[in-house]
Structure 1
Amino acid sequence: MAADYIDTYYRRSLVANQPYPVLARDVAVDVAVVGGGLAGLSTALECARRGLKVALLERHRIAWGASGRNGGFVTAGYATGLETIRRRVNAADADALYRLSMEGVEMVRDNISALDIKGVDPTPGILRVIRYDGGDGIKAYRDEMARRFGEEMRYLAREEVQALTASPVYHQGLYEESGFHFHPLNYALGLAAEIARLGGIVAEGTPVIGIESIGGKHIAQVPGARVTARHIVHCGGGYTDGLERRLRRAYLPIATYVLLTEKLGPLLKEAIRTEAAIADDRRAGDYYRVVDGDRILWGGRITTRVADPADLATLLRRQMVGTYPQLGEVKVDLAWSGLMSYARHLMPQIGRLDAGLWHATGFGGHGMNTTAIAGRVVAQAISGEGDRIRLYEPFGLDWAGGHIGRAAAQLTYWAYQAMDAWRERHNGR
């Protein structure tokens, strides 16, 4: 029996919630995909579109984990910056990787339109704001991205930012017209429906409990059945178990937190006067947007703890009110968390484990576009269409450090918070 979705805004606003059946019979396919989050959905859909017979195997429900619980931001880029990427690869490959991330944005946009997915509500615009006086720096960044990639971002002076976000902490900003925000769980279920329409098997409540390779084929064992496939693609995220040790040791489970306010009515316009989603440039900054007409969906904070803190709603609300004091009396309707998978290098881990065994994991912090393009490059590699997957080879399955790595990640986050606070105190906050 599949574990149902936890209580989130997305769960409450599902257009359709018809479960897919447990796989209870032996099947043979070209590609078996382990994990029904956005990476697995994208991989299965891209394979099915190429005429391959696919089976998508999910332990719980489709997009049960972070794929169906996140902020819903769709923008280009990765969880780490271009300059960090260029420390591992040459300039041409770094630029090619960024263009792949841009392609991922367009893939999501195209899927919403082509499949006419209901309840996704794509809303244009991402507003990136800074909490210190740094206009010259973000102007330079805008110009560089326009020159290298043709990305159009509009610079907003403090007065323009204040007109859109009446917060005393914000200075300048960049408005990304190419980005948008949406309902990720309805989107995920739209992809699943298309996989099924194309003849693919979509199975919920179907954990893969073992994999063996015999005579050039791979057999995924699920409770009471076997899936024989030419290719198996591991697409787990922050909830990945020990099925493939090389993957489990290569990521850190990082928790992120989200709240949903009560309905604000006219009070909303005293704080937020834009339909764009908003995010700051802190290392683990705040990100938020208006949903349901006059509620705020607010995300922020990361920890390496698996269990939710007892005061989760209070912690998030404190950040929101610290940004918008005028919301001091606003009540929290709901708060939740999700586990993301992060590699030490903060890039997705996309590649081949062995002959016929592939992986697409590690999308923490920037997964909406990168899961999409991951599915495409894996499908292209499987079908022999191209080798763009090679661009991700330098970002391999580095050991994440286990418990020591989790402790180091938490300490690093706290250090980043201190650096952000220092910068804001000394640069005009």
Structure 2
Amino acid sequence: MTKEEIHWIVTANAAPDLDKHRSSLRVDVLVIGGGLTGCRTALGLADRGVSVAVVDAQDVGWGASGRSGGQCNPIWRKTPDDLRDLLGARHGDNLVRTTLTAADDLFSDIRTFDVDCDAVQAGWVQAAHTRKAIQSMGTLGRAWKKAGADIEEIDGDAVEYASGSPAYRWALKHAAGGHVQPLSLTRGYAKAAIARGAQFYNKTPVTKLDRKNGKWHATTPEGEITAENVVLTTNAYTSGLWPGLSKTFHPLVSVSIATAPLSAMQQQTVLPGSVTISDSRLAIYYARYDREKRLIFGCVGSTDHVDPLALGRLRGGLRTVFPQIADIAIERKWAGRIAVTPEMMPHMHEPAPGILAGIGFSGRGIAMTSVMGRALSGKLLGTPPDDLPFPVVPVSPVPLHDITRRLIPFAAPAMTLKDKLDALTNGA
């Protein structure tokens, strides 16, 4: 029987031994949010001798960082020129350079900080599901290849040979892509930060944030933390702690299943060589293996639980992408929110002196949370703003956010319908 159970919690390495914050504490930097961004920010600061505390209302990796597909997809959905147009030439160039090394930098971090997270860098197959998608994805791939990315265009039988899926006839293969156990990665960053002096607290929501005498005071249920700087890294689980921040993105939902382990014979025809795969659908399909060779398969969902409609979409997607294992048993199912900005790009905010925020990874969180974490810690350590990969942008709520948020449960069915219509009108 399929369980509603987050697969990564069951298979993750041990969590750091944490407790609630119950005192008065003074630090240089307080990080609110113990996911990948917050943990990588704290690690960068602690590694340079900065006193830092991290608090999470739940636990390290409880949110999207412990619920994602765990795929390292190392380019954006925009071309390098698009990034320059969006961010300006200086930050655009910075982000292009950072993006070209983002995956290698992630796997280098994993080695440097001795993070045990089942890391595999075997490549990513980005498949097109229609002729129209081939055109747009081809433009994207060629632009990044010209900028220096190791990307190969494959078509026909070569796509099935590379991915094990007969559902596609054209794809980009990104050599730098890979996958990790995302909760183990998050916990590994936290443990490395703790080993360098960072303090971590779980079950510690911040209920109030005030500026007094030139410092920030964060009130928790059983104490207070005073800091020169505060970094907000709560992403799709952002509350109303900072006015307007939760309205700068849409909290969409990703749903996933973990199958029974595949046999050696099945592994020869499904994601051979442990590549990852995702496609061009709006209600995207994506898949990778875990260390026991279960297939982790996901798509877009509607609620914080895998309801029957979402499970049907996952089952249907599995039959479409990998018909050779269409009837395989499903062991677990789970859901998690992802923060999607209107530009499909993360935002760095500085809404007040001493306050930073990095949110909105729009499905590129495994590689790009580390980019953001290094950028946030770098800014606090004195990196000139023009040398950062992200510009500081205002906290600007998405227009009609309250209305569109109420429509989010209908987003997945609408996107699925649009994908089907695209396949009919633009060719599969």
Is 1:296 equivalent to 2:295 in the alignment? yes
Q: Which residue of 2 aligns with 1:61?
A: 59
1:424 maps to amino acid = A
Q: For 2:331, what is the secondary structure of its paired residue? A: strand
Cα distance in 2 between the residues matched to 1:251 and 1:372: 20
Q: Any residues of structure 2 matched to 1:199-348 within 5 Å, and which?
A: 199-265=197-263, 266-303=265-302, 305-348=303-346
Judging changes above 3 Å, is the alpha-carbon distance between structure 1 residues 49 and 239 closer, same or farther for their aligned structure 2 residues?
A: same
Q: Which residue of 2 aligns with 1:23?
A: 21
Equivalent-residue separation in structure 2 for 1:82 and 1:413 (angstroms): 29
From 91, 104, 107, the equivalent of 2:105 is: 107
- Which moved further from structure 2: 152-161 or 137-146? 137-146
Give 1:72's aligned residue: 70
Partner SS for 1:333 = strand
- Structure 1, residues 336-389: CA drift from partner, whole Å, max 9, x if none? 000112222322121211111111112231112221121222222222232147
Could you tell me the TM-score, scaled by structure 1's length? Answer: 0.90
Distance between the aligned counterparts of 2:418 and 2:383, measured in 1?
A: 45
Distance of 1:137 and 1:27 partners within structure 2: 52
Query: 2:19·2:202 contact (CA, 8 Å) conserved in 1?
Result: yes
Q: Please, which runs of 5 or more residues in structure 2 have no aligned partner? A: none
Shift of 1:256: 0.8
| In structure 2, distance between residues paired with 1:73 and 1:410 | 24
- Structure 1 residues 92, 240: closer, same or farther in 2, change over 3 A? closer
Paired position in structure 1 for 2:38:
40
Residues 389/316 of structure 1: CA separation in 2 closer, same or farther (3 Å cut): farther
What is the CA deviation profile of residues 383-421 of structure 1, one whole-angstrom value per residue up to 9, with x for unaligned ones? Answer: 223214766347542212333122566667666544433
Deviation, 1:268, is: 4.0
Contact 1:89 1:394 in 2 (8 A): no
CA distance in structure 2 between the aligned counterparts of 1:141 and 1:77, rounded to whole angstroms = 9
Task: Give the direction of change, closer, same or farther, for the CA distance of 1:42–1:119 in structure 2 (3 Å limit).
Answer: closer
**RMSD of the alignment, in Å?**
2.5
Assess if the C-alpha contact under 8 Å between 1:317 and 1:332 holds in 2: no
Give unmatched runs, 5+ long, in structure 1. 1-5
**Residues 67, 185 of structure 1: 8 Å contact kept:** yes
Alignment partner for residue 193 of structure 2, among 184, 187, 195? 195
The alpha-carbon deviation at position 103 of structure 1 amounts to: 4.2
Partner of 1:3: none
Whole-Å Cα distance in 2 between the matches of residues 289 and 224 of structure 1? 42
Distance 1:135 1:104 in 2: 25
Which whole-Å CA distance do the structure 2 matches of 1:206 and 1:296 have between them? Answer: 34
CA displacement 1:283-336 (0-9 Å, x = unmatched): 331110122343210011243x44542454333112111222222321211100
The 3 A distance-change label for structure 1 pair 82 and 286 is farther
SS of the aligned residue for 1:227 comes to strand
8 Å contact from structure 1 (residues 238, 340) kept in 2: yes
Distance 1:183 1:7, change over 3 A: same
Following superposition, the deviation at residue 424 of structure 1 comes to 2.8
Contact 2:122 2:273 in 1 (8 A): no
Q: Distance in 2 between matches of 1:166 and 1:75?
A: 19
TM normalised by structure 2 equals: 0.90
Equivalent residue letter for 2:145: A
Cα pair 1:260 1:298 within 8 Å, conserved: yes
User: How far apart, in 2, do the equivalents of 1:137 and 1:354 lie?
Assistant: 39
Quick one: distance in 1 between partners of 2:13 and 2:410? Answer: 41
* CA 26–295 in structure 1, closer or farther in 2 if over 3 Å, else same: same
Aligned pairs for 1:171-190 (under 5 A) are 171-190=169-188
**Is residue 8 from structure 1 mapped to residue 42 from structure 2 by the alignment?**
no
Q: Does 1:121 align with 2:119?
A: yes
**Structure 1 residue 162: deviation in Å?**
1.7
Per the alignment, residue 50 of structure 2 pairs with 52
Asked whether the 8 Å contact 2:33–2:54 carries over to 1, the reply is yes
